[in-house]
Amino acid sequence: MRLRDLCFSYGDREVLRGVSLDVPRGKLVAIMGGSGSGKTTLMRLIGGQLQAQSGELTVCGRNLHGIGREELYTLRRRMSLLFQFGALFTDMSVFDNVAFLMREHTDLPESIIRDLVLMKLQAVGLRGTAAMMPKQLSGGMARRVALARAIALDPQLMMYDEPFTGLDPISLGVIGQLIRRLNDALGASSIVVTHDVQESLELVDYIYFLSEGKVVAQGTPEEIRASKDPWVHQFVWGESDGPVPFHYPAVPYEEALLGD
């Protein structure tokens, strides 16, 4: 995936202002930044839900500018998204959740779909849950089933929207290692949008930081850890004060206390 000088606005509000980044084949790339920095909008642009006002966005060798509906739907079959909280179909079993994309987008016989579903569930360690319903799963298990569904069609581009949110340390570690192993096994390109800095630094190949709609820093995990940039340092180490201040702008405290 390749972005060059991508710009997008909601009306008069600029969200992305000249973003450029690359996600090479076989690499796992993290996109980080504070709330409102443009991460979710960027994922919507990649998926074709939105179209940029200017710039170049190429996914799987196809420029998305002006792409038609039918061609977009065909391209989307080469992408996949792991939603923040899994988004499993609550009235379908684990097996039927994973089989859904295969039944929707292929003409494979049920016997082949069965084998493929069990293969995907085996890959995430949950083959034994095939007959269970989503409400019977823990949060970490549900996220792993959603991951099995996301890789059902062996996508070339995987996107992960806050995959570690709400997970206990064990589940978080399991999901992180699965993301790494599955990316390498599929030979896919993967984008992880996350706030979990320390887990990501152990997991990804490259990191981009977004702030106010721009890429303000980038580098390998080693480069990011060693960065002297005040904003990056504050974000990585979770410091309460820095370029992003702790106090919201206000009149001086003494003046507020002693004033009329």
Residue-range domain boundaries for the chain: 2-78+155-258, 89-154
Query: From CA 136, how far away is CA 142, in angstroms rounded?
Result: 9
CB 15 within 8 A of CB 39: no
Query: From CA 213, how far away is CA 193, in angstroms rounded?
Result: 15
Q: Specify the CATH number for 2-78+155-258; select among 3.10.20.70, 3.40.50.300, 3.10.580.10, 3.30.1490.20.
A: 3.40.50.300
In which residue are the tokens 């984008």 written? 191
Q: What pTM was computed for the model?
A: 0.80
CB 148 within 8 A of CB 124: yes
pLDDT string in tens for the chain (260-residue length): 888 998 888 888 888 888 898 888 888 999 987 777 778 888 888 888 888 888 888 888 788 877 788 888 888 888 888 887 778 889 999 999 999 989 988 889 999 999 999 998 988 888 889 999 999 998 888 888 998 998 888 888 888 888 887 777 888 888 888 888 888 888 888 999 887 777 788 888 999 988 878 888 888 988 888 887 777 777 777 777 777 777 778 888 788 888 75
Residue 141: both structure tokens together = 């298990």
Say which residues have a Cβ less than 8 Å from residue 165's Cβ, sequence separation at least 6.
84, 85
In which residue are the tokens 């009235």 written? 91
